[in-house]
Amino acid sequence: MTTVLHIAASTRGTESATGLLAGELIERLTGPDTTVIERRLVDGGVPQLSVAATANLTTAPTDRAPASAEVLAAGDQLIAELDAADIVVIGAPIYNFGPPSALKAWADLVARAGVTFTYTETGPAGLLRDRPVYIVSASGGTPIGSEIDFGTTWLRMFLNFLGITNVTVIGADGLAMDPETGLAKARDQIALVNA
């Protein structure tokens, strides 16, 4: 059985370009034995890291301060589903030149010292096993992969930090100017993905 985790960070609901394209990619990745898990981050799907949660990040679950328990339990769940996934598709649109705030909140909960990364004598090392991750991004004008794209470049860096280096970016950029061309470019990239 293959588990595909779809993490969706767009706030644009049914208008979401990354939602549309991630759906098309997931259809391509889906076989008879595939389970798709949806993780929608917006509208309360992910809590913000709090003062109490930060203070208890490395505390054993049974010893966590009550005020931190809910946020850290949400983080535990996000880490567990990321860890269990064989393939991950992240809908990560460009908002204000970077990731949507919900995706940053997800990262703040998923980065856990001793669980998803550690520090060695030579620097940090990721603790998650590598697996294919597809970042599906979209922008109104910001060229994806350019020096003013702090969204996909940050997310790739973050995944690398956790040990995940098999990362492919699928980008529909310039949608505010020429949506047909932007979507077609992303669909060409999706067509190259081995099903």
For strands 133-138 and 87-91, give the pairing: parallel
For strands 2-8 and 87-91, give the pairing: parallel
For strands 87-91 and 123-126, give the pairing: unpaired
Determine which helix (DSSP H) or strand (DSSP E) holds 100, and give its type and residue range. Answer: none
Please name which of 147, 144, 156 lies closest in space to residue 17, comparing C-alpha atoms.
144
Residue with Cβ nearer ligand FMN (67 or 178): 178
165 scored as a contact of ligand FMN (CB under 6 A) = no
- Contacts (CB under 6 A) with ligand FMN, residues 88-107: 93-97
Determine which helix (DSSP H) or strand (DSSP E) holds 105, and give its type and residue range. Answer: helix 101-110
152 scored as a contact of ligand FMN (CB under 6 A) = no
171 scored as a contact of ligand FMN (CB under 6 A) = no
Binding mask 2-31 for ligand FMN (x = CB under 6 A): --------xxx---xxxx------------
Binding segment for ligand FMN (CB under 6 A), chosen from 42-50, 108-116, 125-133, 139-147, is 139-147
Least distance between ligand FMN and beta carbon 104 (Å):
13
Residue with Cβ nearer ligand FMN (13 or 32): 13
User: Which tokens belong to 60?
Assistant: 């054993």
**Cα–Cα distance measured from residue 30 to residue 32, given in angstroms and rounded to the nearest whole number:** 7
User: Which residues here bind ligand FMN, judged by CB under 6 A?
Assistant: 10-12, 16-19, 93-97, 138-142, 175
